[in-house]
Every structure is written in structure tokens, then in C-alpha cells.
Amino acid sequence: MPEVLTLGETMVSLRTRAAMRLGGEAHLSIAGSESNVAIGLSRLGHQAAWLGAVGNDEPGRLIHRTLRAEGVDTSYVRFSDTDFTGFIAFDQPAHDITRVSYHRRGSAGSTLTPDECVEAITSAAPKLLHLTGITPALSDTARAATLAAAEAATGVQVSLDVNYRARLWSRAEASACLKQLLPHVHTVFASDDELDLLTDATDPVAALLESGIKEVVVTAGGKGAWSHSPAGTLHQPALPVTVVDSIGAGDAFVSGYLSATLDNLTPDQRLIRATTSGAFCVGAYGDWESLPTREDLTLITHTHGTALR
């Protein structure tokens, strides 16, 4: 049985290392915040399952095959004969400046239903349910499905990564939906500029903790991350690495943090594993390809340029 269940949309991705309009070579892969987290957890030795819908097409098969190859439980994947698999394109017009184009409106991933989410949670009985603010932005049914999943997770630790996407919905829409999820959430992941989506309070972290959230983890890229809980606040600086591609770093951070949570590590150890996982991700291209295994975690402590012989 999976330790972690996550749900959302995974798309086929096409990535170029220059402006896409110039043509040239492109890399075909998959991308999706929730499946990135599932892959990260699987590589760190955990049983992770991904729930989502893909088209009964070659892009959908690529997603299914890739997740299976990475050890992610795909028992809860639905193939749709009537809807297509979503597509996302990344290009880089300048170093570490990434443009994103979505082709996902009406995709199979947006047809997620409350019934299949509740059934999966009941069947899987995971220790942890991981949600993001992306899934409820996809459609009315996906929004209802996300809320139904949170409500069904009785006795299950629920984490929420705000992951606001301005192209999918307005801040007002996001705020109204995410506030509905909060009563069911144990751990919140957010950047500084996302906290106001969760509360109108002048001190959002304090307000969230007073409302019953057990952990508020605030990420700040190169400045590191902060963990806030009733026991106090901790800060972990980002590791000094050369940034090649920052896409997927937040998902890597979350997978590291949740892995350490499942291992019952202390809050400072959770932050260390999270920032280490994030550092691996920014050091190479791709959403998930450079996510570390448990054995990899110590490699980044070696001096830059070290050859392990």
C-alpha cells in the first residue's frame, strides 16, 4: 500500500534550451507538480502513488510508462477514450529564464472526479495525501475532486503546496478555494507572495498556525526556506550550487520534506533534506530527471569538481 497518495494532472513536456521559435532539438518528457513529487518520494525509497487521468493516446502511454519506470504506483491512473493528454512546452530565451506554454484546456487531466478521489483514498489508506493548488484550478470537477479528497482524508496527514498559477485562475478564485481546503491540511508549502491567498491576516504565518495548521513551510529560492510551527521558526539556507534550470525545484523541495516527515526526522532535518533535494534539481535540466535517490543525498556535500573514483 502506498505511503503517499497525490493527485493532479501530468502532461507531456517539450523542452528547448533556446527560444522555441528558432526550432532545433527538443527534449520530450513528462511534467506535473504532483507526479514530480511522487517520483521524488519513490527515488528516496518511499511507496508513492499518483492519481490522475490521461488520454488513451501515445502521450498518455508515455506518462504511464515513465511513472511506472520510476517506481510510482499507477493503480489509480484512468485512461480516457474521449479526452486528450495535456501538453506543456518550455523554452529558455535566456539563462535560467524559462517560458511556459500550456495546451491543456479540456484535457483528460481536468476531468478528475470526486468519486474516483474518494475511492482511491479509501482503497489506498495512505499515511499522507499531497495536494497542490494547481489541480483545483483545472476545472469545476477537478476543484470538487480536490476538496472531496481533502474531506475524505480522515486520519491522513494532508499537505498542500499552494503552487499558484496565474494562467489558470485569478488570485481571488484561488484564495476562495484554498481557504476551503485549509481545515483539512496539516502542512502548508508556500512562497512569501502566496501566503496572502490563504489568509487576510497581516501576520499570515501566525494566523495559519492559530487556525490549526501544524507546519507552514515558506520557500524563498536562493535565500533558503523557513519552517514555522507552534514550537518556533527554523531557517535553512539554500545550498551553494550552480543553477542550470530552476523548474521543478519546488517539487523537489516538497518531496525531500515529505520524505523526511515520513522518516520521522526532526524539523531541522526535514529542511536539510528538502533543500538538498532542491539543490539537485536546479543543477540539471528537467522537472524531475535529476531528483536524488537516498544514496545521492550526500554527494552534494563534496567539494565542487570532485571526481569519485
pLDDT tens-digit readout, 27-83: 999 999 999 999 999 999 999 999 999 999 999 999 999 999 999 999 999 999 999
Question: Is the confidence at residue 309, as pLDDT, over 60?
Answer: no
57 labelled catalytic:
no
| Choice among 73, 161, 251, 287 that is catalytic | 251
CA distance 256 to 273: 5
Q: Per the structure block, which three cell numbers stand in for 88?
A: 506543456
pLDDT tens-digit readout, 100-154: 888 999 999 999 999 999 999 999 999 999 999 999 999 999 999 999 999 999 9
Q: Which of 162, 190, 194, 200 lies closest to 178, judged by CA? A: 162
- Residue 108: phi, psi to the nearest 5? -60, -40
Q: Which of 140, 145, 225, 148 lies closest to 188, judged by CA? A: 225
pLDDT tens-digit readout, 186-219: 999 999 999 999 999 999 999 999 999 999 999 9
CA distance 288 to 249: 9
How many residues are given for the chain? 309
CA distance 37 to 253: 9
Q: How many CB atoms lie under 10 A from the CB of residue 162? A: 20
CA distance 18 to 283: 17
Question: Is the confidence at residue 299, as pLDDT, over 80?
Answer: no
Contact (CB, 8 A) for 18 and 93: yes
